[in-house]
Amino acid sequence: MGSQDVTNAPGVSAIFMVYGLNEGEEAKSAVKDLCGEFAAIVRSMRKRYPDSNPSAVFGFGAEVWGELFADEPRPKELEVFKEIKGAKHTAVSTRGDLFFHIRASQMDVAYELASIISAKLEGAVYHIDEVHGFRYFDGRTIIGFVDGTENPENDDAVSFGVIGDEDEYFKGGSYAFVQKYLHDMRAWNELPLPEQEKVIGRRRYTDEELGDDVKPANAHNAVTNITDEEGNELKIIRANMPFANPSKGEFGTYFIGYASTFSTTRRMLENMFEGSPAGNYDRLLDFSTPVTGTLFFVPSWELLEKLAED
């Protein structure tokens, strides 16, 4: 069993759902019932649609953890996300109790899984946010650059994305942080290509990283590159997906970062919004605005089933 599907590739189609928990014991019971059934639901979908490789992740916000699982310890870094206010841009904090990240190679299969989950929770939760993401060409964001280039792979993905022996009770779990970004495409498209590349820190068409003599200190891939005290690079698992509603003029990226420790993700966010040194904020934020920001904990499959019995 082990960890939920946090290290999977972003996929072709994705649905992100955030719910709030209604009051009352019946609502809590419905969520706990889903905890016990969730693994079987995902397994069933994989048997029905093996070619679509469906997967799903189920996480919990800080405020609801104590309500649902009063007799369980709290994950060490699970807290209500504290907004990060820089000189110009802010990483906002928004409410979220339950989080689902659904992936499949076909949207109809992702929809089927989302509809089953929603039916199980009917009356127990209320809608906060839902985003349908899609693969854009060869894994690019709406703004045209390849996303997730620096993601760790294989054993490194597990090491950076999943809690290990250092926390035996929560081993196999992961911290998931999500932000829904909206892009100012008019302003972005007016920026000449060489300037766009300096904002990102990579070539648009070849995905090559800009040299240090060309890349600005506030390029996106510069400010999100962090290290520990020994100089070792720290990483997270990004499963970002583009989304769009062209008739509304809405174009965005749903950012999701899975990590074995939220402190890594938070340091990246502080670099982006506050800057290190202060004021050296991520230039991409001049074109991309986060409208949500929520931290969730994703239990291992084994702990998820135990939570159903709590």
Q: Which of 5, 97, 147, 282 is catalytic?
A: 147
> Is 228 an annotated catalytic residue?
no
Task: Give the contacts of 103 (CB within 8 A, at least 6 positions apart).
Answer: 5, 8, 10, 11, 13, 14, 53, 54, 55, 56, 110, 239
Whole-angstrom Cα distance, residue 292 to residue 151? Answer: 23
Please give the chain's pLDDT, 310 residues, in tens. Answer: 599 999 999 999 999 999 999 999 999 999 999 999 999 999 999 999 999 999 999 999 999 999 999 999 999 999 999 999 999 999 999 999 999 999 999 999 999 999 999 999 999 999 999 999 999 999 999 999 999 898 999 999 999 999 999 999 999 999 999 999 999 999 999 999 999 999 999 999 999 999 999 999 999 999 999 999 888 899 999 999 999 999 999 999 999 999 999 999 999 999 999 999 999 999 999 999 999 999 999 999 999 999 998 7
The closest alpha carbon to 64, from 128, 159, 3, belongs to: 128
CB 270 within 8 A of CB 165: no
φ/ψ of 296, rounded to 5, equals: -130, 155
Task: State the pTM of this model.
Answer: 0.97
Token pair recorded at residue 277: 């040194």
